[in-house]
Amino acid sequence: MTLTRRQAMKMGVAGLAGLALSPTNSYGRYFRILEENKKRGMAPEDAVWLVFNVNPLGSSNKAYDVMRRSVRLSHHYGEYHGYELLRNLHEMHGLKFSDMENPDSYFARYAAFNQNPIMLGFGGTEFLQAIARHANDQGGNYVEIQPTYGEITGTINRLPKVRIERRSVHETVGHEASPEEILAKTDRNTRLIHIINPSNPTGRVYSPEALVYLMDNKPPETLLLIDEAYIHYAPSNRVKSMIGEAVSRENVVVLRTMSKAYGLAAKRVGYIVGNPETFKSMALRPMGGYYQNPVAMLMAKEALGDKKFVEKSVNHANSVKARYLDYFAELGLRPRPSATSFMWVHTDRDLSGVVRELEKENIFIKSGHQYGEPNHIRVSIGTNRQVNRFFNIFRDKMKG
Ligand SMILES: Cc1ncc(COP(=O)(O)O)c(C=O)c1O
């Protein structure tokens, strides 16, 4: 029996649907496993996904209420609601939002989408892909910290012609990449330095001093991309958003997504923050600027205002992370304290066999293989019920 796209959507892993078509990526594998498990009586709806770092608590109830009320806007494009969200985002980040001078001009409002310090996108991924393509077009090299979230390199490697060389700074257990090491890899042909703060998959943080040092010392034309997808989960005394720096400098941009702490992954809302001059030089024309989904825009606006929900999500993540630290240590593994909504665990040996055994029970975590680190696993935060189930079965499988 094959799983239809509709069934996949119903499972609440809508993000899988568009990606499952390639047999080589892990999403294709997940679909196959779900089908096999279904034949053995396990419902896809009950699968425990500790792989995508989405918010296990869902989203704000206020956002769900707005969704119910606004669903009949679905036949519209959503520029007006996108415009309002954009204005609210500027306000939230303390940034000046300019309406365009001549509101009677047909394109005046559209200009607001690409001439302000915040640009809306179809999730953060749209920007990561656009930035990767732009860097590749220019040739030269780019710098990544390994292990890393693979969207930049994945995008480049899928292009018909790879013109740009990847330079990596490797992190290992007990060693974090320093700004000096990163700068040592750069030269005037470096198009991009990609930093994720706090990092995916390791959960480490970069201090504000380290990031400012990078900005001050990188080649001026090199774009520094600071991905703050998980910043809500990071302790505010250790991680500071670089949004202010990005706006006041050129060639520094910050990426944000509403897919994680705000729980809106399926709604595809993300944005970048920077200097409009930087955006111009990047030749960006994101879908988020022109073809927004009005329901998603309204939900995002509501979710932004629900600070209590974000706080609850972060508290939940902290309590699960505390349990993960104890649990993995008891099993003799080495979990790394994390400032994100997942945990990177050094396992001393390749546990991909155990990961596959878990998958047969409809429980999904990430093997470090995907990051070139076979002796690691990455486990996202789940609900308490999901975590309990994972704990029991993982312990059994570890015993062999
Ligand atoms: C580090 C990082 N950046 C960006 C994203 C993109 O998320 P989205 O496209 O859902 O906004 C993700 C998603 O997992 C991520 O982990």
Task: Indicate if ligand 1 lies below 6 Å from the C-beta of 340.
Answer: no
pLDDT in single tens digits along all 400 residues of the chain:
344 444 444 444 433 433 333 333 467 889 999 999 999 999 999 999 999 999 999 999 999 999 999 999 999 888 889 999 999 999 999 999 987 666 666 556 677 888 899 999 999 999 999 999 999 999 999 999 999 999 999 999 999 999 999 999 999 999 999 999 999 999 999 999 999 999 999 999 999 999 999 999 999 999 999 999 999 999 999 999 999 999 999 999 999 999 999 999 999 999 999 999 999 888 787 777 677 899 999 999 999 999 999 999 999 999 999 999 999 999 999 999 999 999 999 999 999 999 999 999 999 999 999 899 999 999 999 999 999 999 999 999 999 7
**Domains of the chain listed by start with CATH number:** 5-58+310-399 (3.90.1150.10), 63-305 (3.40.640.10)
Atom of ligand 1 nearest to the CA of 121: 11
What CA dihedral angle connects 99, 101, 102 and 105, to 10 degrees? -60
- Asked if residues 84 and 297 have their Cβ atoms less than 8 Å apart, the reply is yes
pLDDT of residue 289: 67
Task: Indicate if ligand 1 lies below 6 Å from the C-beta of 294.
Answer: no
Task: Determine phi and psi for 172, rounding to 5 degrees.
Answer: -130, 175
Task: Indicate if ligand 1 lies below 6 Å from the C-beta of 149.
Answer: yes
With the C-alpha atoms ordered 108, 113, 114, 116, is the resulting torsion angle positive or negative?
Answer: positive
3-state secondary structure of 56: coil
pLDDT of residue 106: 56
Structure tokens at 177: 């990449």
Q: Where are the beta strands (DSSP E) in the chain?
A: 48-49, 118-122, 140-146, 164-170, 190-196, 223-227, 252-257, 269-273, 334-336, 342-346, 363-364, 366-367, 376-380
3-state secondary structure of 166: strand
Query: Which residue out of 257, 267, 338, 342 has the highest number of ligand 1 atoms within 8 Å of its CB and is therefore the one to mutate?
Result: 257
Dist. CA 83 → ligand 1 center (Å): 23
Please report where in the chains the tokens 């710098």 appear, as a residue. 143
pLDDT of residue 103: 61
Task: Indicate if ligand 1 lies below 6 Å from the C-beta of 125.
Answer: yes
- Asked if residues 201 and 344 have their Cβ atoms less than 8 Å apart, the reply is yes
Dist. CA 227 → ligand 1 center (Å): 9
Task: Encode pLDDT of 49-104 as tens digits.
Answer: 999 999 999 999 999 999 999 999 999 888 889 999 999 999 999 999 987 666 66
Dist. CA 249 → ligand 1 center (Å): 24
Q: Give the integer Cα–Cα distance in Å for 288 and 286.
A: 5
CA atoms within 13 A on the CB side of 315: 6
Q: Give the integer Cα–Cα distance in Å for 59 and 64.
A: 7
Task: Indicate if ligand 1 lies below 6 Å from the C-beta of 124.
Answer: yes
pLDDT of residue 111: 78
